[in-house]
Structures are given as structure tokens and as C-alpha cells.
Structure 1
Amino acid sequence: MEHIVLSYEDRVATIELNRPDALNALNEKMLAELLQALKEVEKSEADIVVIRGRGKGFSAGGDIKTMLQSTNEHSFIEVMETIKQIAITLHQLPKLTISYVHGAAAGLGFSLALACDYVIANEQARVAMNFIGIGLVPDGGGHFFLKRKIGDVKSKQIIWEGKVMSAQEAYEVGLIDEIGDEQAIQQKVTEWLAKPIRAMIATKQLYAYLSEEQLLNTLQMETTYQAEMRKTKDHEEGIRAFLEKRRPHFIGK
């Protein structure tokens, strides 16, 4: 794998997003490799999975340059299916998962972080569910994982605002579980490994089963709405404004 690094140490698997020159922006190849890594981990003897990013941040989200290059509907559906499978696999994974956010976690990158069982962010982290800035809706199960953390009303507000939050702000809202450095990862891993982890995983799987249908419906609706939003003038304007580094002028169409 070129953009994903998978390693094991004892009962812990680490998946590293490895496209630091693009702030780990998730393009089609990287998403496919991430799904491959998750499927490999699923079959492994690891009990805990840590997901983190190499370089200056966790992930800037979906690769906007790739969005511009790909207007093919079939390609879009394929990418959304991969994103869907990543979210489902993480949700149902018979392992305990930790995401470690340093630097930026935005858009799809933030959805990925929230899909994990426990989110640790360092003090310099900045997070945003900022699809609204380019006229899109969250994907990767973003609606589902936000709601799971903080409920409907607050989730809508965060999606609509699309603002960048500091680690402290995100912690106070309930989006992240702990503010800490890399040592915090090891502390949480050590804590979990000292517990009857099979019972912990069983509880995770029980909750995953209870909410499985809701996640599947959410992912399907995200695909449907994303396809619609990609055709809007506001999306075109959002992309142009992003590339031209200016404020967008949206018209509601």
C-alpha cells in the first residue's frame, strides 16, 4: 500500500494515513487502501486499532482536486461505495478503535475520526465538519457519528456552521473524548488491555447491531444527497472559491 501504513505491535494494530504532502487528503486510491487495511485488521489477532495521520495533520478530508478531475457519475458512485464500506467496517469492527487527531481533521477526515470508539486530540488539533463550505453534505457516516456523539440539534448546528473548532471547543461539545499527546494513546491502550477486552468488544458489537440499520440508511441518504449537491451552482461556487482562496458567494441554487 502506498498511502496507508499498517503495523502491529503485540495486540495493537496501527493504521497511518500516509499522504503528508497533501495533508492526508483522501483520494480514491487512499480510500481503497484504507478499506483494505481495515479488512486485514479485522482478520488479525489485534484487539485494539489506532488510526492516525503522518505529517502535520490527521486528514484534510476528501481530495478536492480529485473532485474536480472526476465528473464521471460511475466513478462517484464507486468512491461513495468505498466510503460507505469504510464506515460500516469501522462501526462493526470486532476491535476497539482509537483515532488520534493532531493538526487538522476536516470533512471526511473528521467523519473517519468520529467513527472510532474513542477520539483523542492534541492541544493543537483543529476539527471541522465543513462540507457546507463547498455546498455539500457530510458523508462517511458523518451525520450518524455526529448524532451518536452529541444528538440531532447540536449536530445540525455544527454541520450548518461548518466552523473550525479548537480541541478544547470540540471536547466541551463532546466531539472528542480526551485532549492529550501521543502518550495518551499508550495510556488508553494499556488501560484497555488490562481489562476483559472480549467483554468490551461484545458490548461494542451489541450497540453496532442495534444501530446498524440507521447507519446503513444514513450512508445511502448521504450518497443520494451528495449526488444532488454536486450538481448545484453553490457547489461549483464553493469549489471555485476554495481554489481561488476567497469567500464564496452562494445563491441557494
Structure 2
Amino acid sequence: MTIDFQTETVKVGIDGRTATVVLNRPESLNSLDLEMIRGLSWNLKELCSNDDVDIVVLKGAGRAFSSGGDIKTMLSGLEEADFFSVMDCISELVVTLYSMPKITISAVTGAAAGLGLSLALAMDYIIAAPDSKLAMNFIGIGLIPDGGAHFFLESRLGETKAKHLIWEGRTMSASEAQERGLVDEIVDGDFNEAVGRRVEEWLNKPLQAMIKTKKILADKNRPCLLKILELEKFGQYKMRQTADHQEGIKAFIEKRKPVFTGK
């Protein structure tokens, strides 16, 4: 594999017609801070313009795919302008990931939680290791999902099941996530080899026809995704001001069960 371009927290390797993008903050279970979000968006845009690449695989370094947004960002007391700037960066990343003219694969090992799960869902196909854990767990700290999660969950599950999953906020095994329609394939044996087999199968198909189908559906759905991202941005801003969110963060720090009041 030859390294083509990268930032400190996002590594990119290109091998023939396949690019592998690695979230590279293993010490924090690849939690997404602003630097990583911007680096990932930049790298994906570079890949969009690379006509030699047809398939993009996203994975995490170390023990996790991504544990979600960096909790330190939530605790930093962002000013209003800074908060909206961060959310706009997330929206830019999600739209790029969802609509890029490549076939995309999420290779999930370990945790895929919160914003990390949103990114996985933004891709065309999710392959998970048997021991991976998936969670849309914003509700545990009094927040709503972001990163387009409302759009992606409704697309996969339908409105009612999407609401129920968001409200539950609990961690799912790979097998449960597959049963609910969030994971497309669970692999046995060597994970990287299994991902490679899936890639090789698609490389031997008429990929431009597959990509054109993706583009048609993405173009149709883009206005809805953009609307959802905007609603999530302002909704999240309101949720950050609630007593329940403050209690959720405090309980997280103190490693106890939160006591919510619905305020």
C-alpha cells in the first residue's frame, strides 16, 4: 500500500483502485475532535477528485472504529459561534461522505458510537467484526443524535423504529445491529481479509453503474439530508442548554447514573 496524502489524525493509503482511510486517534478510541473532522473532510474531498479510486474503506486505528465526538469538546463550554462552526464542519463532512462518487465501506471493529456511528451509517455498506459494539447513545447525556443520524436511521429503519432506537440509546452487539438493519455483514475469521474479499468482489463488477445508482439516489435525497443537518444543529444547541444535559455530563464525569428531570 502506498501512502498518498494524510493529516496527523487521518491516514490515507491507496492500493490500486481502493483507498483506505484510517481514523488515527487510537489513544482516545478515535473520538472525533475538530482537527480530525476537518482532516477527514479534506481527505475525502481529495479522494472525490481522484479518478483512479473507485472504492473507499473507512476504519479506525487500534481498538475502535470511533467512540463518537470528543467529550472534551462538550465540556469546553463552546461559545455560540464556535458551536455552530463545529456543527457546520460536521455537516460538511457528512454530506461529503454520503455523496462522494465512490462506493464506500465502513469497516467497524470495537466501538462505533454517537457521531462515530453516524459516519458509519453515511457510507454505502457496513461490515462489522463479531465483537463490535454499536450505539446511538446521545440520549444518555441529554442530547439528540447529530451527523445526519436522524436521516440515516430513518432511511434504514423507518421513522418509528428510528425514534425508538434513538430513545433507547443502548449499546447493541454486532448481531443485534444486523438484525435491526444497521449492519450489512458480520465477518468471521480475519477481519481485514474479509473486507478485502468484499472489495475484490466489487472491483470485478461494473462499478461505474453502481456509482451512478448511488449518485441518483444521493442527489434525490440531498435536500432532505441538508434539512436534517440544519435541524440537528439548532436542536443540539438547544439541548446543550438543558438541565438534563448538564446532569448527563456531570454524571458521566462522576461515573454514576444520571438523574434526569425532563428539563
Find the aligned partners of 1:118 and 1:236 in 2 and give their Cα distance: 36
DSSP-derived class of the 1:6 partner: strand
Equivalent runs, 1:227-242 vs 2, <5 Å: 227-242=237-252
DSSP-derived class of the 1:36 partner: helix
Residue 138, structure 1, aligned to residue 145, structure 2: yes
Runs of at least 5 residues in structure 2 that lack an aligned partner in the other structure: 1-6
Equivalent runs, 1:148-159 vs 2, <5 Å: 148-159=155-166
Q: For 1:121, which of 128, 135, 148 is the aligned residue?
A: 128
Q: For 2:211, which of 201, 210, 226 is the aligned residue?
A: 201
TM-score by length of 2: 0.95
Q: For 1:223, which of 215, 233, 254 is the aligned residue?
A: 233
Equivalent runs, 1:1-253 vs 2, <5 Å: 1-44=7-50, 45-180=52-187, 181-253=191-263
Cα offset for 1:12? 0.5
Amino acid at match of 1:156: K
1:157-209 Cα shifts (integer Å, max 9, x gaps): 11000010000000011100000122221111111110110000000000001
Cα offset for 1:239? 0.6
Find the aligned partners of 1:133 and 1:182 in 2 and give their Cα distance: 32
DSSP-derived class of the 1:14 partner: strand
Q: How many residues align?
A: 253
Cα offset for 1:71? 2.1
DSSP-derived class of the 2:40 partner: helix
User: Which of structure 1's runs of 4+ aligned residues deviate more than 4 A?
Assistant: none
TM-score by length of 1: 0.99
Quote the RMSD (CA, aligned, Å). Answer: 0.7
Find the aligned partners of 2:156 and 2:195 in 1 and give their Cα distance: 20
Higher alpha-carbon deviation: 110-119 or 145-154? 145-154
Identity percentage of aligned residues: 52
Cα offset for 1:92? 1.0
Cα offset for 1:116? 0.5
Runs of at least 5 residues in structure 1 that lack an aligned partner in the other structure: none
Amino acid at match of 1:160: W
